[in-house]
């Protein structure tokens, strides 16, 4: 599925759209290597792929997956390709205007750090809702769609994990995001901080320092949070025993699980389930 809609951009100055649309890609779908005249943001609803951006003669590669997005900058050449096994489905909006550069800067995204990851789920949902509204209602009044573009930009700024992190270089942010993805995919296993650092190919002390600076949590605290968040979900939605849930989220010892749960949540698993 693919469709897009052009927007009469000349009627608005501070912030406007040029086109927007949605695409469900076939496996391996790849765009032409080219530059754009305006900013283009893509949000990934499902699947994954890879973005390539040329900067100062170097080609940078960024894996992007469901729940993330990426921003293309004017005049920088890029290409992006859907995964061959799990191709992505995304929506996009092309925008610009006198205020666009200032607003984009507030997101913390850069040419060499173009991947969006949401840190605030509620704000990210507002951003996605606004983007969906624009894409799904192309015939609505132009002023209304511009209002939703402002809501989209506000959600993008407020939810971005890189917000107000403009002094970070792209390498540090890349390592933190790789660590987060590794934890989210493997939290139920018996993994250590050294395993995470080895996956990122960096020293564990360096990982701890940049992770704490970016997320205000240590990698170990983030790992525990992922495990207990899933435990809460299972306690709420299943009839599994405490022991079964404990093992499912990475605590083979139920006593250790109950202690960690009470320390972080303030109640025992049994009390929380009631």
pTM beyond 0.85: no
Which residue did the predictor score with more confidence, 228 or 3? Answer: 228
Residues 84 and 28 sit within 8 Å (Cβ to Cβ): yes
Is the pLDDT confidence value at 170 over 70?
Answer: no
| 15-24: average pLDDT | 94
Structural domains of the chain, ranges and CATH numbers in brackets: 2-159 (2.60.120.280), 170-273 (1.10.10.60)
**pLDDT tier for residue 256 given thresholds of 50, 70 and 90:** very high
| 213-218: average pLDDT | 88
For residue 124, CA distances in Å to 36, 171, 172, 226 come to 25, 24, 23, 19
37-69 pLDDT, tens digit per residue, is 999 999 999 999 999 999 888 899 999 999 999
Is the pLDDT confidence value at 138 over 80?
Answer: yes
């Amino acid at each position: 599925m693919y469709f897009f809609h052009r927007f009469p951009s000349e009627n608005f100055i501070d912030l406007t759209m040029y086109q927007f649309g949605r695409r469900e890609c076939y496996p391996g779908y790849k765009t032409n290597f080219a530059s754009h005249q305006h900013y283009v943001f893509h949000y990934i609803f499902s699947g994954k792929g890879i973005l390539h951006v040329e900067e100062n003669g170097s080609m940078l590669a960024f894996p992007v997956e469901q729940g993330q997005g990426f921003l293309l900058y004017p005049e920088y050449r890029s290409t992006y390709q859907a995964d061959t096994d799990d191709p992505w489905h995304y929506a996009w909006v092309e925008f610009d205007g006198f205020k666009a550069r200032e607003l984009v800067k507030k997101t913390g995204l850069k040419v060499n750090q173009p991947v969006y990851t949401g840190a605030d789920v509620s704000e990210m949902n507002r951003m996605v809702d606004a983007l969906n509204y624009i894409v799904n209602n192309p015939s609505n009044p132009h002023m209304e769609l511009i209002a939703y573009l402002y809501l989209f930009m506000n959600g993008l700024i407020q939810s971005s994990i890189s917000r107000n992190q403009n002094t970070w270089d792209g390498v540090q942010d890349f390592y933190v995001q790789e660590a987060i993805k590794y934890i989210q995919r493997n939290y139920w296993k018996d993994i250590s901080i050294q395993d995470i650092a080895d996956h990122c190919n960096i020293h564990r002390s360096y990982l701890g320092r940049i992770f704490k600076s970016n997320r205000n949590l240590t990698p170990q605290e983030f790992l525990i949070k992922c495990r207990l968040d899933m435990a809460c979900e299972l306690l709420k939605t299943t009839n599994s025993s405490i022991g079964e849930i404990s093992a499912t989220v990475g605590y083979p010892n139920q006593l250790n699980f109950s202690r960690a749960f009470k320390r972080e949540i303030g109640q025992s698993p049994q009390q929380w389930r009631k």
